[in-house]
Homo-oligomer: A and B are copies of this chain.
């Protein structure tokens, strides 16, 4: 058996997703060999992230202020709302540098298998954001069963609000080969075909 405080650290690392006993042990040994200051920074970062990070009260994205930088940015169009699953997706969308509207982070997707219901998601705040000025709600959840379920649910929920609800396109990814694409992707790509104008 390892010393108790070492065992405790191994157990802590096992809280991380996909980390089993062997990996946790490896991580703990790395920490044991790391310089003292690095370990203290790590411990501070852990405590700090929980203390300093809030959810933006408008869109639900993580932020160190009451309102996130995107919601505060006056150059962004608040009449466009792009609905995503998680803060990671906001980062991914921002990378394309094409979209100048705002976001709404659901912090999850409806999942019957995981028992996640619409009331567990940040949907009420989305409804509150819809005003007569709102032009479009773009549903950019993942192209998974859960993402599609959530998209259909939101579409139904928003249908009476006089706002355009769109879903990002599904199809062959750029650089993708037909013979490597799965059938569902091909069906979606085929269904979504457009004239080459």
- Contact of A76 with B by CB under 8 A: no
Whether B39 and A5, one on each chain, are in contact in the complex, defined by CB atoms closer than 8 angstroms, is no
* Interface flags, A19-58, vs B, CB<8A=1, else 0: 0000001111111101010111111111111101100000
Whether B17 and A30, one on each chain, are in contact in the complex, defined by CB atoms closer than 8 angstroms, is yes
Q: List B contacts of A125 (CB < 8 A).
A: none
Cα–Cα, bound, A6→B31 (Å): 20
Contact with A46, one of B39, B50, B87 (Cβ below 8 angstroms) = B39
Q: Give the nearest-CB partner of A54 in chain B.
A: B3
Cα–Cα, bound, A119→B44 (Å): 35
The verdict on A3 contacting B52 (CB below 8 Å), with A27-B16, A32-B62 known, is yes
Q: List B contacts of A50 (CB < 8 A).
A: 31-32, 34, 36, 39
Whether A53 and B3, one on each chain, are in contact in the complex, defined by CB atoms closer than 8 angstroms, is yes
Whether A5 and B46, one on each chain, are in contact in the complex, defined by CB atoms closer than 8 angstroms, is no
**Chain copies in complex:** 2
Per the 8 Å Cβ criterion, residues 110-149 of A in contact with B are none
- Of the candidates A9, A41, A44, A87, the one having the most CB atoms from chain B within 10 angstroms of its own CB is A9
Q: Give the nearest-CB partner of A63 in chain B.
A: B3
Cα–Cα, bound, A55→B86 (Å): 44
Is the contact region of chain A dominated by helix, strand, or loop, or is it mixed? helix
Beyond the given A12-B46, A43-B46, could you list 11 further A-B residue pairs with CB under 8 A, ordered by the A residue number? A2-B87, A3-B52, A5-B52, A5-B53, A8-B41, A9-B46, A9-B48, A15-B38, A34-B50, A39-B46, A43-B47
- Contact of A91 with B by CB under 8 A: yes
Cα–Cα, bound, A9→B53 (Å): 11
- Contact of A73 with B by CB under 8 A: no
Q: List B contacts of A32 (CB < 8 A).
A: 49-50, 53, 62
Q: List B contacts of A28 (CB < 8 A).
A: 49
The verdict on A45 contacting B3 (CB below 8 Å), with A30-B17, A36-B50 known, is no
